[in-house]
Structure 1
């Protein structure tokens, strides 16, 4: 953007020690829109004062966040919000310049490698074993403990790069591939866990599931490792946490709810004083897209 007299004047006031002045200046810069970001980046490169650089970084972040909020609402209001698109929006919070095309290419390579090994004669378990073998053995995807000191473990682009993620991010990658391959696996609402379930049904009939779909689930999958387990294992877990296994825990989660969970968990990475504003922003996004 061409640097007008007004923009130049605003930039000269960014280092004003009066917080009220800085707030007024910030709001005006934000109102100009994301076209001003290259100007701010140039200003940052030519500013030796670290405290002023931090103010400029915050302004750039606020501009990216405003655009990202709008993108989330466009995504949320689609008839069938796509899980991959939602996961990439979460990644853009931390990496505004995310290479979306590269993520899509990486996912497509995985999809094709799995698809080549599938056929219509495979049982549900055999289908799942093909997907799991390629994802965890061929691509060497690793599952990590849920660690809020490692924000990258929550982001789809970094999971694809490092071939490691926690149960939530690995599970989202697993679900994206299942959706592309028409494998009827969905996340379910097991307390304090992110568990996948294989439903006995035809693709595209999710709205025809009974209110208690537990008998339509053939088996369960731990997305951290790809390990398959049975309802008896689930029963044991419910007994251990002293919670009755009601039907609500076995209904498939929508893509919107999965992305909302990702935002809520990712937010916990920023509960320290320095980045508390990121925690607030992520929780705000989660609330805005909430069902």
Structure 2
């Protein structure tokens, strides 16, 4: 396991105050593309930002800047969804998204936020259920945008998108949650954890354990207070038959969360692994 890459990722995500979201999101791909030139990708984004800067003056209003950015991103560069293979991991690796111009809402949003920042626009990410959104404050009010298309969504449209999620979670009637709860801006750490969870889900479903381990190692680094991520890493280690680290993670999980709902399942896992280590 290339510790150098993990050390680099750790250095990026340690502090909340200066959290380089774009750089960290690009660096995630190093587990799958070890020779990836992260700085080269950042330089390319700066070049795109410089092209944009030529189109604005100090007098250009925020709403005009947003229109210029949207035209540049969606019309000229041609960024958008990948309808043929929406769940391909490439749609989440930023260097691939930049190359193919195809992404999922969160990867496109990170690029839009980065380019917006370069022309003085503060676009923020919103961890809306099932569909990542962007939020921007203008004099005319708050705008919620779909990163796949750049379209602004009305409260009615957002509520329609939210209702199936509320139904599935049982948050209806008495427990109904207002739309605004789901429209707050997310922190860079929250955005990156959702970004990683997308990849975690893709690799879990396809049982690509080595790739999944690369993502899970970064989840543990990003969310150091989440003992569940340590448990999940242990389960992946076990799938790969890395028995010692698997046992270490599972024992750590039980020591920190002895009353967890799945504690008995994890104890059974440990017993099985310990009998395997005796056989080796």
TM-score by length of 1: 0.66
Counterpart Cα distance in 1 of 2:104 and 2:74: 13
> Which of 178, 191, 209 matches 1:258?
191
Deviation at 1:145, TM superposition (A): 4.4
The number of equivalent residue pairs is: 214
Structure having the higher Rg: 1
Number of the residue aligned with 1:97: 35
Alpha-carbon distance in structure 1 between the residues aligned to 2:217 and 2:210: 10
1:168-207 map, 5 Å = 168-200=106-138
Query: Which of 29, 45, 64 in structure 2 is aligned with 1:126?
Result: 64
Q: Within 2, Cα distance between the matches of 1:218 and 1:116? A: 26
Instruction: Give the counterpart of 1:136 among 63, 74, 93.
Output: 74
Gaps of 5+ in 1: 1-61, 202-215
- Residues 31-60 of structure 1 show CA distances to partners (whole Å, capped at 9, x for unaligned) of xxxxxxxxxxxxxxxxxxxxxxxxxxxxxx
Tell me what 1:73 maps to: 10
Give the 3 Å change call, closer, same or farther, for CA 72–82 of structure 1 in structure 2. same
Q: C-alpha distance in 2, partners of 1:179/1:150?
A: 28
Alpha-carbon RMSD across the aligned residues, in angstroms, is: 2.5
2-side partners of 1:83 and 1:141: how far apart?
A: 20
Match of 1:29 in 2: none
Q: 1:240 to 1:269 in 2, by over 3 A?
A: closer
Residue 228 of structure 1 aligns to a residue in which SS? coil
Q: Which residue of 1 aligns with 2:100?
A: 162
- What secondary structure does 2:124 align onto? strand
Distance 1:234 1:101, change over 3 A: same
Is residue 187–residue 194 contact of structure 1 (8 Å, CA) maintained in 2?
yes
The DSSP-based 3-state class of the residue aligned with 1:164 is coil
1:48-77: CA deviation from partner (whole Å, max 9, x where unpaired) = xxxxxxxxxxxxxx2x2x222222221112
Q: Deviations over 1:126-153 (max 9, x none)?
A: 2211101001111111222495752111
Runs of 4+ in 1 over 4 A off after TM superposition: 145-149
| Gaps in structure 2 of 5+ consecutive residues | 172-176, 226-280
- Judging changes above 3 Å, is the alpha-carbon distance between structure 1 residues 88 and 181 closer, same or farther for their aligned structure 2 residues? same
- Measured in 2, the distance between the counterparts of 1:260 and 1:197 equals 18
Instruction: Using the TM superposition, name which of 140-149 and 255-264 deviates more.
Output: 140-149
TM-score normalised per structure 2: 0.68
